[in-house]
Structure 1
Amino acid sequence: MAAAPILQGRRHERERLDQALLRVEDGESAVLVLRGEAGAGKTTLLRYLEERASGCRIARITGVESELDLPFAALHQLCAPVLASAATLPEPQRQAIDVAFGNASGAAPGKLVLGLAVLSLLAEAAEERPLVCLVDDAQWLDVATRQVLGFVARRLHAESVLLVFAVREPGQDTLLTGLPELTGLPELTVDGLAEEDARALLTATTPGLLDARVADRIVAETRGNPLALLELSHSGRAELLGGFALPSVGTGALQERYEQRIRALPEPTRLLLLLAAADPTGDAALFWRAAQALGLGAEQAVPAQEAQLVEIGGNVRFRHPLVRSAAYAAGDPEARRAVHRALAGASESGGDRRRRVWHLAAAATGPDERLAAELADVAEGAESRGGIAAAAALLRRSAELTIDPGLKIERTLAASRAALDAGDFASVLAMLARAEALPVDDLQSARIYLIRGLTDRAAHSGREAPAALLRAAERLEPLDGSLARHTLLDAWSAALVAGRLAVPGGDLPAVSAATPPLNGTPTAADHLLDGLAALITAGTEAGRPSLREAVTGFLADAVPADLWLRYGVLVANAALSLWDYEGWEAANARHADLARAGGALVPLINALNVRRVIALWRGDVTYARELGLEESTVKEATGTRRASYGDFFLLAYQGRAAQALPLLTEAAAEASARGEGLGLYFTERATALLHLGLGHYAEATAAAEQAASGDLGPFTAQALPDLVEAAVRSGATATAETALARLGTYTAGSDLEWGLGLQARARALVSHGGEADRSYAEAVERLSRTRLRFELARTRLVYGEWLRRERSRVAARQQLKQAYEEFIAMGADGFAERARHELLATGEKVRKRTADTADDLTPQEEQVARMARDGRTNAEIGAELYISARTVEWHLRKVFGKLGITSRRELRDAPLRPPRRMR
């Protein structure tokens, strides 16, 4: 699922749009012209308004430059959906419409008559419900359309029509002119984001560890332009994640124009601009120290400042990032080396060793063993402090400057491994190709094979990855036993992901059987490998001691960060195998924190995938959605294709089969195409949960049987309770009893409440009388001692259903009511509706929820609802939130509609999401 568009800040702009929408919903009309430079966020604001206007009719058009010379082309696009109403117009107006749109021949219609016709059409369309007309890129509308829409905009009064134009402002870098047709209409200037919001947008869309000084410079140079920030977050990650990248010297019309202006400046001024462009930090003190070494002073900066190309104050800031690129491109190679030497000398006096070495490397004219060694040394320091991308850049340059072939190979492999964690797959493959061209020994050849396999797995998942990694482990075993065992862990992880789709010889049994006995004292990673292998070959009880040692060892901080990044998901899975919720969450949190801190994007994707599932089992849907946006951003940055398992469970929670089933079917097909059997498992499990919530027990049984087929260790165990419940409810008693017996093999020997609670619930479902009652009560008691809100609510639901059928209505009501409230709070609408039906059968009165849920409330609606529920007046709420009392009332009307209530009194009992949260 794609991430939602990011709208950072913009409180004032959103409030203006909300107020205009409120007027229209109250029966008035409103017009607004959004003006701003390209990329300022006008389109995003229109998208925001469209989302807010959910109860309105939407008409949206976008101006196209190629249609500038086609009269009424854009107007026809706007009016086409409502042309059926043209038959009701007066004859002159109907004729004008027909001729303008080519439906009849005749003299060109007068602008006044045509304008009145369009005004009448829009007013007629707004009779049933308010009409919101969004006109994007209005500067590219044909003149005839602009004239008509300008006429209409000035005559809207009480038609319940909102007309919003987005117009690119003319400027010295464009060929646009003003639009007189829109002059005098209410306007809203869309400037760049405020500094804090711009920095937040850059941080949110650039996964990894940003260099603060580089980020500050880019925020200043883009002047907060959202599009420029988003483009740099995707194309300039190497620079943002450490500053160890040279400015782009690509081509483009705007950059070429800047370059021409720079080449027209005096040579000393050009050199000064080149110096500023070569320093990614914008540090003015560093800049002037370096300038002095080049014999340059403040007088050389004057022509550039007068040309408004650069500002030099407390920091050095170009007027636009492309000016920086143009300044660097305008310098010849010798001049570039000179400014980098000067910056290296200035950095030495400033105490920034990494920056000094980087600039020396940029100034190097050929291989330099001493400099290569120093680069490798500072790269190790960068990685230990969490700068994976910076370490990769430094190591890559170190390898390029290295003379000794053996060292060159080692540094290239180290750089490729860091680039792999940073998610730069193209660089990994390029560096491996260079390494292969060198005289590698057997161990280095095996390591190249390993890194290539890890890259393929990270980028594509794949059915062939486990077998390839298993072959790499076999090649490594006689050369480096420790690395071979680590590679077997990689193969085990790949086999888990490939699941039933793995090629022969690459499935979990094959990888587990290939694990050699350990010689020497085991590390936490050794315990992890032995425990996971035993889990598959000998069962949960056999693997439990080693898995417990592994989880304890990793959580005791006795394991290097690189192994955490590499095997953090397996550590979490080990805790899951033990039914150790606390260990599961702690291991995953540690993995995610280390990956975020280091900008290790590939490990972060894996950690976030697990973290979302944990959040959902805790019932924290809001946090799971936030994590989903982060996961999507990181995947986009790396180009990783991997299923997002949290998405599947969100679909199951919502209980909307018409929307969920096609998406789950599509996701299953995509997982199959990638060779990702684990993705298939999660779509099947989510499908089973969806049908369980809806009471479709035969369908749930079929999906749960597929999910529980084979052996995916902890994941198979998690699917079995679903199968027991679905099979019992669909009358497949034998299937339920078999699943219960299989579940017992995974929980046997466990002393933790999660597994024992689910085992007790499954046992209760297949039991009768007193034994069922005792088992249900045990399940509720055990799961109440965990933080697994979803499993506890499900247990209360099935217990309440059983109690009702046993005619214990009061006790049933108690369990069912608690289950219903929990499901509502979690947004598990399907299960909530199932609980509601059961409550009704006990005689309890329960309000039916509307299609919109509490989770559909926007953050501001939810905030207003909470404050109103606390007894504050509209004026008090408005004063605190900096909005009008009327806007508060508008928000409350939306809240009432979504929650299916009509008054503040009912709001007191309405289900809102619980305060957050897990972190």
Structure 2
Amino acid sequence: MVCLEGTPGIGKTALLRAAVAMARESDFTVVTAQASAIERDFPFAVVRQLFEPVIARASSAERMALLTGSAVHATQALTAEPPAPGIQVSPALLHATFHGLYWLTANLTASSPVLLAVDEVQWADAPSLRWLSYLLRRIESMPLVVLFTLTIGEEAAEAHLVTDLVNAAYRVRLDALAAEDVASLAEDVFGVDTDPDFAAACHAATGGNPFLIRELLYALEHEDVKPTAEAVPTIRELGPQALARSVTARLQRHALPVTALARAVAVLEECDLETAAALAELDPPVAADAARALVEMDVLTARPALAFNYSLVRKAVLYELAHTQRAAMHGRAAALLWRAHAPAERVATHLLRTCPLGEPWAVEPLRVAAAHALSQGAPRSAVSYLRRALREPAPDPVRRELRVQLALAEIHVDLPAVHRHIPDLLEQVENPDQVAFLARTLGRTLYEHDQYREAAEILERGVERIGRGHPAARNLEIGRLAMAFLVPDLAGERPLERLAALWPPEEGSPVDERFLAAILAYRWSWEATCSDQIVELARRAVRAGLSHQVEDPGAVSAAVCALLWADEAELAYRVCDEAAGELRRRGHQLFYAVTCAYRARIAARLGRLADAREDAQIALELFDGLSGNRARGSALVAVAALVEALTGLGELDAAEFTLAGRGLGDVVPEVWHGNYVLHCRGRLRMARGDVRGALADQLECGRRLLRWGVVNPALFPWRSEAALAHAALGEPVAAGRLAAEEVELARRWGRPRALGVALRAQGITRGGAEGARLLAEAAARLAEAGDRYEYARALADLGAALRVLGQRAEARRHLQKAIDLAEVCGAGGLADRARGELRALGARPLSGRACGPRALTAHEYRIAQLAAEGRTNREIAEAFFVTQRTVELHLTNVYRKLGITRRAQLATALAAVQESDSGGSVRSV
């Protein structure tokens, strides 16, 4: 990716065109786009310029090859068809579109190298810029050159996106011409030798800018000035005004229609002759003559459409128009284009540059353009169109619909604006189902932005507007009460009791039974009671219909967390795995990232540390590649799961770096998912020997959880971790109190993992024979729970305690088992500690290091399975939102671990996975 940057007129476009010509001579496939200020609010305007001609000229077979697989999602950006009625905001669709455009590009490179050239990138629309950034992160190993120009000194439409793109590219800065170059140009214009003083004065007046030099020389020639030293005062007088004067003078030397047509094209920016003639109010033959004159003057190009050769010339022409004249011409252009059935976005871009027209027709192109913008994931453009539409006259029902659409768009761009007018908006909508739809959509989107309090407020307003007794209000009420769990200040409203009163739903009730079951299971888990009922509710929430539920990651995550806390981790893992597969098939990158984050958390709980690390890294990479601030809470889940996995794996520096890189090394935001981060950071600090830091984190985690009303240690065993820190600091009383409290709560909860973790802490803090007895019970409970890592920790501690008590045979047996389990988990530090205890006994540890199929991570197994089924690397990369190079690296690791050398051997080697020990790391994939 290469950026050609420089001031206006320095020659960037000329160099880009030369590169395009060279690429075509070298049998590249070339796709080009010209970004423009007038189309910066037109979603995917640049992308459409790049790819629409390629699709249009392709044969049916070529089109099918280009749009095969995930590339089919690219059509969302390329279609000119208006969306179906009813605007739906779909961030998942936007990310699927980016993924599709990436694979369309990859398919283009299959037959030849590709040059993708964009002129004036500072004017590119936001979705196109985001896609270029998306492409840049995946450009490795592709025979592709992305070349774009950037004009320095012009304010970009989306400055931060342009900056990110430019900083990631190889930058080529174009310098000004030297004085001797100016002399050479002057000799070409005047046909005689040029005085050095004349050339030096021209160079000083223009700064060596090639375009300004040329226009200055044309102006001097027109004034019959000779290239001698006597002309220096005249050159200084012209100076910076040379361009505007030159262009104006050149146009005025021709008949009035030439100026009129130039102004029309300047307003339209790129157009056919018929439209330009209509806007200039010229008869077709007169307009044709004027166009020929402008082409001969090198002002316009006529192929494939009328357009200015140089943006500086267009600006000079527009500069001569008064603001009111310009706005009036944009209004007439919009009307002409709408009558000619031009795309709504093109009409809307002109309407944005006018004052209110007082014309009812103007509403429709703006409404359609807004609907298209939202369907393509460009809410900022939609907001601009809808705000402009509301300035035109329209019947009250249409205005209400426009305001609803504006609220759905503004929530992604301007949340304060939504909060300002949402009460009036909900009051104006009369149909209860429409009120419910609007409140539910806004509330859910706010939830996805982690705006829990604001989501609760909007849902409550919806309930009040409809009336609590109305069936349509039931699900709003459930969502409102669910939000109350995540905002501690709302806990006094007794949301759990109110939700419990709705269960079970009556037959024929409009209540979403799965969602209510998931929320009840999730919230009841905080109480450390009713675990059997919780498991049944969570199972009910995920039983059947999952393909529907993947559209609501909040319900899925609530259900799997309840299962996880109730020691149904294997089921929770399978649910996440099934959801992830469905989301991959649909191309829903955002929700796939959320699901990977929770799957990482579950894998860490199961002791599959390498799997957890891989899923968490995948989730974070996807979150980082997504636009907007969605799912920040799920990103915290991924960070915490990664820190938990890295700590267990002994990669403590990497865990510390992860926290620091995410701004979580010191302060953790007081949001629900921040509790998980605090707990995992505390465990990391303990592993690093920062006992006081670990204690502070665990106690702060506990303070926050108690504020939320969480007492169940199955969620976060902060008391056990704090007890171990107190014990390490020589504070046995505080350690014993916290450990005993957690054991009591864990027994009340009645599930083995929480009890095993609590008993382990109590056993360590008490020590002696009683401590060993507690550690033995802890190991038994953890074995039952299926958490291999915690089980290995308990066995190592038990072995160490028995060694001190002189029970050498039992100590050896437990320590060897701890080593075997730790190596399966990849917990090298834990395995080394157990080996040290064995050596202290005079025993020689046996290696139980995992090898063969058991050494594969779950992600490696998934990729290997697809490869064994005959999928190509490209198809696998499409499925997992990664590059082909990433797939190649994974398969290289798979071959090494399985001891094979060819793809054809995969099926046989993978068959061993089904026969391997159920403790292997690829179980339930």
- TM-score, L = length of structure 1: 0.50
Matching residue of 1:631: 623
Q: Which amino acid aligns with 1:523?
A: D
The answer as to whether partners of 1:531 and 1:547 remain within 8 angstroms in 2 is yes
Residue ranges of structure 1 left out of the alignment (5+ in a row):
1-8, 11-35, 40-167, 175-191, 242-249, 279-286, 749-754, 784-790, 847-854, 877-913
Matching residue of 1:799: 795
CA offset digits 1:192-236 (Å, max 9, x no partner): 99989x999x9999974557999999x9998369x9589865896
Matching residue of 2:779: 776
Matching residue of 2:639: 647
1:817 to 815, 819, 838: 819
Q: Distance in 2 between matches of 1:611 and 1:221?
A: 39
CA offset digits 1:806-833 (Å, max 9, x no partner): 3346544543434544565xxx776576
Specify whether residues 592 and 222 from structure 1 end up closer, same or farther in structure 2 by C-alpha distance, changes over 3 A only: same
The answer as to whether partners of 1:358 and 1:375 remain within 8 angstroms in 2 is yes
The answer as to whether partners of 1:274 and 1:328 remain within 8 angstroms in 2 is yes
Other structure's SS at 1:710 match: helix
Matched, 1:223 2:213: no
Matching residue of 1:549: 540
Matching residue of 1:57: none
Matching residue of 1:247: none
Specify whether residues 745 and 479 from structure 1 end up closer, same or farther in structure 2 by C-alpha distance, changes over 3 A only: same
Matched, 1:411 2:409: no
Q: Which amino acid aligns with 1:793?
A: Y
1:511 to 482, 487, 495: 495
Q: Displacement, 1:745?
A: 4.3
Q: Displacement, 1:646?
A: 3.1
Matched, 1:425 2:425: no
Matching residue of 2:706: 710
Q: Distance in 1 between matches of 2:474 and 2:316?
A: 50
Specify whether residues 639 and 804 from structure 1 end up closer, same or farther in structure 2 by C-alpha distance, changes over 3 A only: closer
Q: Distance in 2 between matches of 1:339 and 1:445?
A: 38
CA offset digits 1:4-63 (Å, max 9, x no partner): xxxxx79xxxxxxxxxxxxxxxxxxxxxxxxx7449xxxxxxxxxxxxxxxxxxxxxxxx
Specify whether residues 813 and 442 from structure 1 end up closer, same or farther in structure 2 by C-alpha distance, changes over 3 A only: same
Q: Displacement, 1:369?
A: 6.7
1:681 to 661, 671, 675: 675
Residue ranges of structure 2 left out of the alignment (5+ in a row):
14-27, 33-45, 48-70, 78-90, 109-113, 135-150, 158-210, 213-242, 252-257, 764-770, 803-807, 848-856, 858-882, 902-919
Other structure's SS at 2:467 match: coil
Matched, 1:621 2:621: no
Specify whether residues 683 and 725 from structure 1 end up closer, same or farther in structure 2 by C-alpha distance, changes over 3 A only: closer
Q: Distance in 1 between matches of 2:317 and 2:559?
A: 49
Q: Distance in 2 between matches of 1:332 and 1:724?
A: 72
Q: Distance in 1 between matches of 2:924 and 2:289?
A: 53
Q: Displacement, 1:796?
A: 1.9
Matches within 5 A, 1:30-41: 37-38=4-5
Specify whether residues 318 and 555 from structure 1 end up closer, same or farther in structure 2 by C-alpha distance, changes over 3 A only: farther
Q: Displacement, 1:685?
A: 0.5
The answer as to whether partners of 1:341 and 1:360 remain within 8 angstroms in 2 is no
The answer as to whether partners of 1:536 and 1:711 remain within 8 angstroms in 2 is no
Specify whether residues 433 and 306 from structure 1 end up closer, same or farther in structure 2 by C-alpha distance, changes over 3 A only: farther
Specify whether residues 418 and 727 from structure 1 end up closer, same or farther in structure 2 by C-alpha distance, changes over 3 A only: same
The answer as to whether partners of 1:310 and 1:317 remain within 8 angstroms in 2 is yes
CA offset digits 1:807-863 (Å, max 9, x no partner): 346544543434544565xxx7765765665566565499xxxxxxxx9xxx99999
Identity %: 15
Specify whether residues 555 and 442 from structure 1 end up closer, same or farther in structure 2 by C-alpha distance, changes over 3 A only: closer
CA offset digits 1:526-564 (Å, max 9, x no partner): 44455556556775445554443333366252x695xx2
Q: Distance in 2 between matches of 1:410 and 1:640?
A: 31
Specify whether residues 38 and 222 from structure 1 end up closer, same or farther in structure 2 by C-alpha distance, changes over 3 A only: farther
Q: Distance in 2 between matches of 1:407 and 1:418?
A: 16
Matches within 5 A, 1:9-158: 37-38=4-5
Q: Displacement, 1:724?
A: 3.8
Matching residue of 2:876: none
Q: Displacement, 1:495?
A: 3.9
Q: Displacement, 1:720?
A: 4.6
Other structure's SS at 1:223 match: strand
Q: Displacement, 1:802?
A: 1.8
Specify whether residues 333 and 378 from structure 1 end up closer, same or farther in structure 2 by C-alpha distance, changes over 3 A only: closer
Q: Distance in 1 between matches of 2:336 and 2:739?
A: 76
Q: Which amino acid aligns with 1:687?
A: R
The answer as to whether partners of 2:348 and 2:366 remain within 8 angstroms in 1 is yes
Q: Aligned Cα RMSD in Å?
A: 6.9
Q: Which amino acid aligns with 1:815?
A: K
Q: Distance in 2 between matches of 1:800 and 1:683?
A: 26
Matches within 5 A, 1:346-745: 366=357, 403-420=394-411, 422=412, 425=415, 428=418, 432=422, 435=425, 461=451, 465=454, 468=457, 472=461, 475-476=464-465, 478=467, 481=470, 484-492=473-481, 494-498=483-487, 502-503=488-489, 506-507=490-491, 510-515=494-499, 517=502, 521=509, 522-524=511-513, 525-532=515-522, 539-552=530-543, 555-557=546-548, 561=551, 564=552, 569-576=557-564, 579-580=568-569, 582-583=571-572, 586=575, 590=579, 610=598, 613=601, 618=608, 619-634=611-626, 644-651=636-643, 653=646, 654-656=651-653, 663=660, 667=664, 670-671=667-668, 676-694=670-688, 700=694, 703-704=697-698, 706-708=700-702, 709-710=705-706, 716-721=712-717, 723-724=719-720, 727=723, 730=727, 732-733=735-736, 735-745=738-748
Q: Distance in 1 between matches of 2:574 and 2:665?
A: 27
Q: Which amino acid aligns with 2:819?
A: K
Specify whether residues 641 and 741 from structure 1 end up closer, same or farther in structure 2 by C-alpha distance, changes over 3 A only: closer
CA offset digits 1:360-380 (Å, max 9, x no partner): 987997577788579768977
Give the number of the structure whose alpha-carbon radius of gyration is greater.
Answer: 2
- TM-score, L = length of structure 2: 0.50
Matching residue of 1:88: none
Q: Distance in 2 between matches of 1:615 and 1:316?
A: 60
